[in-house]
Amino acid sequence: MTALLEAEGLVRRYTMRRGLLGRQVELRAVDGVSLRLERGETLGLVGESGCGKSTTGRLVLGLEAPDEGTVRFDGAPVPPVGSAAWRAQRARMQMVFQDPLGALDRRLTIGTQIAEPFEIHGMAGAQDRVAGLLRDVGLREDFAARYPHELSGGQRQRAVLARALATDPALLVCDEPISALDVSVQAQVMNLLIDLQAERRLTMLFISHDLRAVRQVSHRVAVMYLGRIVEEGEPDAVLRDPAHPYAQALVSAIPHPGRTARRQVLQGDPPNPAARPPGCAFHPRCPMAVGLCRSVVPELKPRASDGRRVACHVAQGEAMGEAA
Amino acid sequence: MDDPLVRISGLRVAFDGVPVLRGVDLAVGAGEAVGVVGESGCGKSVTWLAALGLLPGKARVTGSVVLDGQELLGAPMPVLDRVRGGQIAMIFQDPASSLNPVHRIGRQVGEALRLHRGMDGAAARAETRRLLDQVGIPDAGNRMDAYPHELSGGQNQRVMIAMALAGRPRLLVADEPTTALDVTIQAQILDLLATLRAETGMALVLISHDLGVVAETCDRVAVMYAGLVIEEVSSARLFDAPAHPYTQGLLSALPPLDGLPRQHLAAIPGSVPEPRALPPGCAFGPRCPRHASLCDEQVPPLVDVAPGQRAACRILGADVPPAFGLAAA
């Protein structure tokens, strides 16, 4: 069976002006990302701000058209943005954002908002289904009559999930769905995501900066740095033995009680996507960089030893014999 | 603690008659690192804003905040001006909005030096440069002429820390200093705070919602819920033997890094109560799996559980199983 979603070589460029009269520069938010989402599987996409993980989510959903590359959904290319076929496909793929209050209309009741997808996609029996959806996400049926401001943050995110599930989508893209929630409520929403995923055989793209949360909900994890995936594998394998130096730094940065070993602190700031370093974009911050890293962009490919997909000359053993 | 640097006792704050702090007791010793943990609205930030007289006028503040034998609540403005920045400095979550966007960063650090140490001209400039160097701003000599927008979020937080250090404070209160930053930058800033504490001997209060961050950086942790400190414990014991059901719940809500993946977390049910509609007795009662009728009778006081550990729970003891399914630690 083909994967539910296959993205191949996605590139998204933006042009921006530096300063008031400055010349235009090109910013590659996503720079050649390929990913496969198997049916019923959750892929965690992790990285820091500006690494292109949210843009990747929007490209995958077809909310934005890529400048290069293709997205195939259910074996067929995603139709052009705005076309009738594209609109019909919206029912099968949905998105959940970080800020549930921003994603809900403050003037409409929760019930009206959950029923809206049924109207848009011409489905019958909205009222009954709303009650069922509310139960599925752990809200009482009487919440249908409430307004967003009457709900707590966690309850709002549940309402957003209910609305996203209304059309029974095959694919759910969650962009930092728990970052705005309190710790105790984050756990509730992660539990809900795990349950919904298992019960409905949902395919999910879970975008987060939090490796702990990614491990909690994902079957696979992809680490992004400056518009590219630099490592991909099973969450536990990546957490226990990260291959890419950037993934190593991310794992080492997870706050850990009773830590005895000193944390590996990465120097410098994430680089500006408009001034991408040549070669491996990570090399200016990398403790292991060698000459090759400064000139040649490493390719994401399986490592010889265990098949872990990693884009690093050093981890791939291509930098042998070179002095660091 | 016999003679702490700062002793907060019975601190209460109400906005328009709604209680936000309901009698907070907290002491910070000289050179000590204390973490304050809790969810949004628990009063962890308000405690320190109230202590420094930084709350708006409509806030009703009672209780006592003593720094070195001097009462700060209701102290005259000149006294507070010397304390704020000079004795106790504070940094906040979003460095970009704490800095003035139209002034160069060197000038902003210099202003703190002039106010607290009476430095001017070349001396102030040299000291500014040293401070920026100390907080790890690369090429400090040139960067001091940069504007905040020319620096990254992590760099701006370093500038804020340099400004805080300018007055040679004895206590730095850092309110979610890494929440707005990326994880690798968070690691840099926590590392910097630990280094500075070792170099200067200042005390640190780290306010955070992240138990991991706090436990790693601090000697002692105060857990707050609904305007009260509900547990005080050494960082070592926090993870091994948390006493209060809320603390246990916060820990079990943290996704583990090992064990079977994608297992249910023992989440705390419900959500934080509204300050204007607090349940009777223990505010955590309605969410607590150990809840019993005696919990509703009165607000439980902090009682000693073990050496260096106090918790505000009526149902404590060695025979009480953990309230939430804590993984055997």
In this complex, the residue of B155, B212, B264 whose CB is nearest that of residue A191 is B264
Residue A324 pLDDT class (50, 70, 90 cuts): very low
Best probe of the B interface among A219, A269, A282, A286, by most B CBs < 10 A, is A269
Q: What is the residue type of A308?
A: R
Q: Tally the domains of chain B.
A: 1
Chain B residue nearest residue A150, CA to CA: B274
> CA neighbours within 13 Å on the CB side: how many for B179?
20
Considering only residues B319 and B241, tell me which one the structure prediction assigns the higher pLDDT: B241
All structural domains of chain A, each given as residue ranges with its CATH number in brackets, are 5-226 (3.40.50.300)
pLDDT digits (tens, 9 = 90+) for A210-259: 999 999 999 999 999 999 999 999 999 999 999 999 999 999 888 876 65
Quote the CA–CA distance of B215 and B329 in Å, as a whole number.
15
pLDDT digits (tens, 9 = 90+) for A65-91: 999 999 999 999 988 888 899 888 989
CA B144 to chain centre: 29
φ, ψ at A82 (rounded to 5°): 95, -10
Rounded to 10 degrees, the C-alpha dihedral B199/B203/B209/B211 comes to 70
Minimum mean pLDDT range among A119-133, A169-183, A252-266, B75-89: A252-266
Quote the CA–CA distance of B250 and B41 in Å, as a whole number.
15
Q: How far is B316 from chain A (nearest CA, A)?
A: 22
Tokens 């979550």 correspond to what residue? B93
Question: Which chain A positions have a beta carbon within 8 Å of B183's beta carbon?
Answer: 48, 209-211, 250, 253-254
Chain B residue nearest residue A266, CA to CA: B184
Residues of chain A above pLDDT 90, percent: 65
Residues A211/A251, Cβ–Cβ less than 8 Å: yes
H or E stretch covering A131: helix A126-136
pLDDT at A179: 87
In this complex, the residue of B236, B250, B264 whose CB is nearest that of residue A184 is B250
Q: How far is A187 from chain B (nearest CA, A)?
A: 5
Residues B254/B213, Cβ–Cβ less than 8 Å: no
Tokens 């720079």 correspond to what residue? A31
Quote the CA–CA distance of A316 and A296 in Å, as a whole number.
13
Three-state DSSP state, B44:
helix
Best probe of the A interface among B94, B219, B257, by most A CBs < 10 A, is B257
Q: How far is A267 from chain B (nearest CA, A)?
A: 8
Minimum mean pLDDT range among A103-112, A266-275, B55-64, B202-211: A266-275
Q: What is the residue type of A4?
A: L
Q: How far is A321 from chain B (nearest CA, A)?
A: 30
φ, ψ at A115 (rounded to 5°): -80, -20
Question: Which chain B positions have a beta carbon within 8 Å of A237's beta carbon?
Answer: none
Best probe of the A interface among B254, B274, B284, B287, by most A CBs < 10 A, is B254
Provide residues of B within 8 Å CB-CB of chain A.
39-40, 152, 154-155, 182-188, 190-191, 209-213, 215-216, 235-236, 238-239, 249-250, 252-258, 261-262, 264-269, 271-272
Give the mean pLDDT of A39-55.
92
CB proximity A152 to B under 8 Å: yes
pLDDT at A16: 77
Quote the CA–CA distance of A184 and B211 in Å, as a whole number.
12
pLDDT at A321: 58
CB proximity A252 to B under 8 Å: yes
B255/A187 CB distance under 8 A:
yes
Burial code of A127-162, b = ≥16 C-beta within 10 A, e = fewer? eebbbebbebbbbeeebbebebeebbbbbbbbbbbb
pLDDT digits (tens, 9 = 90+) for A115-156: 999 888 888 878 888 999 999 999 999 999 999 999 988 899
Residue B202 has which token pair?
């200042």
Residue A103 pLDDT class (50, 70, 90 cuts): very high
Assign residue B268 the CATH number of its domain.
Answer: 3.40.50.300
Best probe of the B interface among A20, A48, A183, by most B CBs < 10 A, is A183
Residue A24 pLDDT class (50, 70, 90 cuts): confident
End-to-end CA distance of chain B: give it in Å, rounded: 29
B212/A194 CB distance under 8 A:
no
Which residue in B286, B282, B307 sits closest to B296, CA to CA? B282
H or E stretch covering B109: helix B105-117
Which range marks the domain in which residue B283 is found?
1-87+169-329
Rounded to 10 degrees, the C-alpha dihedral B157/B158/B162/B168 comes to 80
Average confidence score pLDDT of chain B: 91
Average confidence score pLDDT of chain A: 89
Q: Give the count of beta carbons closer than 10 Å to the beta carbon of residue B4.
A: 18
- Which class for B82: exposed (0-12), middle (13-18), buried (19 or more C-beta within 10 A)? middle
Residue B127 has which token pair?
């000291």
Model ipTM value = 0.83
CB proximity A187 to B under 8 Å: yes
pLDDT digits (tens, 9 = 90+) for B291-316: 999 999 999 999 999 999 999 999 88
B155/A269 CB distance under 8 A:
yes
A184/B210 CB distance under 8 A:
no
B253/A153 CB distance under 8 A:
no
Chain B residue nearest residue A256, CA to CA: B212
Largest CA distance in chain B: 68
Give me the helix-helix angle, B153-166 and B121-134, nearest 10°: 130
Is B110 part of any domain? no
A212/B209 CB distance under 8 A:
no
Chain A residue nearest residue B216, CA to CA: A257
pLDDT over 50 (residue B329): no
Three-state DSSP state, A78:
coil
B187/A212 CB distance under 8 A:
no
CB proximity A305 to B under 8 Å: no
B239/A258 CB distance under 8 A:
yes
A257/B209 CB distance under 8 A:
no
CB proximity A260 to B under 8 Å: no
pLDDT at B319: 63
